[in-house]
Structure 1
C-alpha cells in the first residue's frame, strides 16, 4: 500500500490517466463500457482521497514530487523551491474528497443522461469530467502558487468545454465563450500578481512565499500582487461584481456540468481566497487582517444580497439556482472574512451541506429538461404533477437551502451565524437568515408551481426582470420515456449526504479540527519545512445550539411563507415599486454582453486595489 506522501501525486495522476485512457479507447468502446470505465476511475479517485484524508490525521502530508525539493541548503534556512510540492491538510484533502465524490455522483447521473456520440468523439464527455476533476483535486492539494494557477486553469478550460459541449446550439457556445474570456482575463491578472511576488521574493511555494514576506515590511507592491492574485479565485467564486458569467453559463451548460460548477468549482474559488491569504499574506509582511476582514465582509455581504434578490426574480430554474449559488457564496466569503477558526469551521460545514443540496437541485432540473424540454417555471406550471418523487426531492432541497435543521446547510449556517454574531451582532446573523430564506423560498415557490400546480398560471410581464426557460434543448431527445433511474436516485443520495453532514456529529467535528489546522499560519510553514509546529489553537465548536436550531427554523418558516405568498395572485404596490427601482436596474446590468462583463471585472479590480491600498 502506498505511503501517505505517495498518495498525493497518485490523487492527481488517477483522473489524468483515466482521461487519457478514455480519449484513446473511448472511440472504440461501446457506451456501456465507457460508463463502467469512467465510474471505475472516479470511484478509485474517491477511494484514494478518502485514504489520504484518513492517513493525514491531525497533521499535514507533504510531498516534493520526484524529490525536487529546495536545492540550496537547509530549507528551513530559506532554500529556494524549484519543484512541485503537494501539501494535504484536513481541509485541503476534504475539499478534494468533496470534489471527487461529486464527480462520482455526476458520472453515475450521466450514465443515460444524454446521447454520447460514438466513434471519433466517443468518450470525450467523461474524459473532460476526469480532467476537470484532476484540476480541482490538484488545486486543493498544491503547495505552490504557480502550480495552483496551472491547476486552476486546467479546471477552467475543462469547464469552458463542458459548458459549450452541445456545439450544435449557439446558446451554450455563447455562454462558454463569456465564461472563458472573463475567467481568462482574471487568470492573466493572477499570473501578473504571481510574477510580482516572484520578482520580490524569488519564491513560488506557498510556505516559502509566506516565510519570505514575514521577513519584510508590508508595501504597496505586495498589496497590489495580493489583489491581482486574488482576482482569479474571486471570479471563479462569482463574487460581486465578478459574478456576471455564472448565471449565463449555468443557464446553458448541461445539467451534470451545473452540478459540478455550483457544487464544487465556485466553492474552490472561496477555498483559494482562504488558502492564499492564510498561507502567504496573513503574516506581518502581508496584508493586515483588519484590511482583509473589512473588505471581504463588504464583498461577501454585497454578493449575498445581490444573489438573493436576483434569485427570487428568476423563472428560468437553472438561472434561479445559479443566483442562489451566488447568494450562498456571499455567505461563505463572510465566514472566511471573519478570520477565525470558528467562522471557517462553520463555512466548511456549510459548503459540504450546500454541495449536496445544490447538486441535487440541478440534477432534478435536468429531469424537467429531459422530460419537457423546458426549465421555465411559468411554462411548466402544473405539468410535472406526475413526477411525484422528483417533486418531493425538489421541495426537500429547497428546505435544505433555507437552512432547515438537521441538514448540513443548517448546521453550517448556525455555526457561521454564531461566529459572525461575535463580530457584528444581529446584523450578520440576520443577513444569513434573510439570504437563506429568500433563496430557499424561491426554490420552494418553483416547486409548488411546477410539481403541484399551486396558484394561477403566472401572467406574462413584457419587460419584466425574468428570463424565460422555454425552448431549451432536451438533453436526452426522447421525451416519451421515463427519466432514467440514476437521474432520480443520485439527487436523493446527494440530499441524504447533505442531511448526514448535519446529523452525524463526527463530520462537523472533523471539519472543526480542519479549520483549526487551516488557520495556523505558522504550522503550515513548519510542516513544509519539516520543523516542529507551534502549539495548536483551541478547536472551534461544531455542535448544534438552541439558538442555531431556532434561527434555522425561522429561515425555513420564512422561506415557506414567501413561497406560499408568491403563488397567490399578485398585489400591486410596494412589490411593483421595488421591482421598478431595485430589481429591474440590477437585472439590466446582467446584459449578456461580454464587453459589459469585462468592464465590471475592471471596476471590481480597481475597487479592491483602492480598498486594500487605502487600509495599508
Structure 2
C-alpha cells in the first residue's frame, strides 16, 4: 500500500495558500477555487495513507525540528479536516458573489493549522498550530469586515482564544521548567507525579484546548463567532475545530498527565456543557446560533466520553465526531442556502418559506433526526457507544440532550414548510433574532449544483459511517487513550499492539436512538403548536421564560464578561481535579 509523510499534509496547504495570495489577483476565479479544492481534497485523501510513526519536519534532529506523529486518531482527524474543507470550498464556489483569493488562502492556512495540531507530537508545536488556527479563524470569523457585528464576533473570537493560548503557554513553561522537554512522549516518559504542580500544569495547558472546544464556562465566544462567520466557515468551526479541542485534551491527558484522575472533573464539565448547550439551543431564533449551541451540547457529550478514558468510549466519541461533523456541516450549509434565497436566518421570519421547496426542509429534518440519535447515522452510532460506556444516569442525560438539540432543528424544519402557527409578537429584546441578515451572495432563485451537493454529500457521509461501522474508528479510539503505546511508537518506533475497540451497533443503541428520534419529533410538534396548548399549561410559560431569559443575559456579548468566565473556569477545573 502507498504510504505518505505527514509533512506534506501541513506544508502543502501553506505553500499553495502563499501562491494563491501572491498570484490570485491575476488568476480567474474558477482556477483559484479549483486549486484550493484540489489541495484540501489531497489532504483528506492523504489521511488514509499516512505512514504510522513519528517524523521530524525538514529532516532536523529530534528536539530541533517539528515532530509529527501519525497514529489511528490523527489519521482520522486529518481525513476529516480535508473532507470538510473540500465540501466547504465546493459550496462557496458559487455561493459568494464577490470573493478574492485571500478567502481560499485563509481556509488553506486554517486547514494547515488544524492538521498540524492533530499531528503534532510536541506540546509547544501544538500551541503554534493552535495559534495559526486561531489567527486564521479570527480572520475568517470577521471576514465580512464591512459589518460591525462581524468585527465584534471576530474580535471576541480572537481575544478569548488568545487568552486561552497564553494560559496554555504558562502551563507549558511549568512543564519545561520541571522536565526540560516539551515532546509529548518524553513528557510522558518523565512520569509526572500527581502533585499540586502537575495539577496546575494540567489546568493551564488544558485551558487553551477547553476554550477551543467551547466547554462551559469557556464557551461564550463560539455562538457569537458562528453568528457572524460566513456559512462555509461555520462548517469547519463546528465540524472539526471545536472537536479538535477535545482531541487535544484527550491526547495530552493520556500521554502526559496519566497519573491524574480527572474523571469527576471532566464528567462534571461535560454534563454542564451538554445541558447548557441543549437549553440554549432550544431558546434560539437565529438558526446559526441554534446550531452553534447544538455543537456546544454535543461537545459536552464528547468530554464525558474523554472522562471515561476507555477504548470503547474513545472510539464512540471519535465516531460521533465524524458523524456529527457530517450532519452539522450539512445543516450549516442548508442555512446558507436559506440565507441566499430569503435574506434571513430567523426561524420566525423564515416561516413558510419552503412550502415550494420542501427538499431543503426535508434535508434539515433529516439532520435534526440524526442529531437526536436516529439510526443508522454515524452520529447515532457514536452516541450509542458512548452511552454504553458511561453510568446509566449519565447516559440518560446525554440522551435527553440529543433529543433537545434534535427537536430544536426539527422545529425549524417544521416552520419552514408552514406547519404550526407563527407567534403573533415577533419582537425580542434579549435574543438575537437573525432578522435583516445581510446576504453573503446575490439573491439566488435557482440553486447551483455545487451548493446542493454539499449538504447531500455530508449527510450521506454520516449515514455511510453508521452503515459501514469502519474498524479504523475503533483503532483510532484505542490509540487515543493508549498513552504507553504512543510513547513506544514515538520513542521506540514500536507499533501499538493493543486490539482495537469494537465499533458496532447494539440492540439497546438501536432502540434508544429510534425512541429518541420519535420523542424529538413530538417535542418539535409541541413547540410549533405551543400557542394552542391548554390555558393551564400556557400560564406556566412566563415563569419559565424569566428563568431562561436570565440565562440568555449571561451570554451578553461583552468580551470582558467572557474573559472573566475563563478565570472562573480555571478555578473550577482546578478545584474539581484536586477534589476528585
TM-score range, shorter chain: over 0.9
Match of 2:166 in 1: 188
CA distance in 2, matches of 1:442, 1:166: 28
The answer as to 2:439 corresponding to 1:474 is yes
Residue 394 of structure 1: CA displacement? 0.9
Secondary structure, counterpart of 2:306 in structure 1: helix
2:6 counterpart SS class: helix
Given that residues 370 and 483 in structure 1 are in contact (C-alpha distance below 8 angstroms), is that contact kept between their aligned partners in structure 2? no
* Aligned partner of residue 383 in structure 1, secondary structure: coil
SS in 1 for 2:348: coil
The alignment status of 1:352 with 2:322, answered yes or no, reads yes
Aligned to 1:561: 522
Match of 1:77 in 2: none
Report if the CA contact (8 A) 1:398-1:443 is conserved: yes
1:46 and 2:44 aligned: yes
**SS at 1:86's partner residue?**
strand
For residue 2 of structure 1, report the CA deviation from its aligned partner.
Answer: 7.8
1:576-615 equivalences in 2 (<5 Å): 576-581=542-547, 583-615=548-580
> 1:173 aligned to 2:151?
yes
Are the counterparts in 2 of residues 464 and 584 from structure 1 also a CA contact under 8 Å? no
Task: Tell me which residue corresponds to 1:494.
Answer: 458
Closer, same or farther: CA 407–533 of 1 in aligned 2, 3 Å? closer
Query: What residue is the counterpart of 2:55 in the other structure?
Result: 63
Alpha-carbon distance in 2 for matches of 1:30, 1:368: 28
Per-residue deviation, residues 106-125 of structure 1 (Å, max 9, x unmatched): 110110111234xxxx3000
User: Of the candidates 341, 365, 373, which is equivalent to residue 371 of structure 1?
Assistant: 341
1:245 to 217, 221, 225: 221
**Alignment partner of 2:362 out of 365, 388, 392:** 392
Give the TM-score taking structure 2 as reference length.
0.96
Change (3 A) 1:541 1:578: farther
Structure 2: runs of 5+ lacking an equivalent: none
Partners of 2:215 and 2:486 in 1: how far apart? 27
Q: What root-mean-square deviation, in Å, do the aligned CA atoms of Structure 1 and Structure 2 show?
A: 1.6
Q: How many pairs are equivalent? A: 575
Q: SS of the residue aligned with 1:346?
A: helix
Relative distance call for 1:479 and 1:35 in structure 2 (3 A) is same
Structure 1, residues 389-438: CA drift from partner, whole Å, max 9, x if none? Answer: 21211111111111100100111111111011xxx22x111112101110
| TM-superposed deviation, 1:313 | 0.7
The answer as to 2:59 corresponding to 1:83 is no
Note the C-alpha offset of 1:183: 0.6
Picking from 125, 140, 156, the partner of 1:162 is 140
> Could you tell me how far 1:24 is from its partner in structure 2?
1.0
- Is the counterpart of residue 231 in structure 1 residue 229 in structure 2? no
Unmatched segments (≥5 aa) in structure 1: 71-80
Deviates more, 1:265-274 or 1:604-613: 604-613
1:331-382 Cα distance to aligned partner (Å, 9 max, x none): 0111111111111111011111000000000000000111111000011110
* Cα distance in 2, alignment partners of residues 253 and 490 from structure 1: 18
Q: Is the 8 A contact 1:31 1:116 kept in 2?
A: no
Question: Aligned ranges for residues 186-335 of structure 1 at < 5 Å?
Answer: 186-212=164-190, 214=191, 216-282=192-258, 284=259, 287=260, 289=261, 292-335=262-305
Structure 1 residue 568, shift from structure 2 partner: 0.7
Moved more, 525-534 or 431-440: 525-534
CA distance in 2, matches of 1:379, 1:400: 25
Give the 3-state SS of the residue equivalent to 2:492 in structure 1: coil
Is 1:108 equivalent to 2:90 in the alignment?
Answer: yes
Rounded to whole Å, the distance in 2 between the matches of 1:585 and 1:520 is 43
Partner in structure 2 of residue 78 of structure 1: none
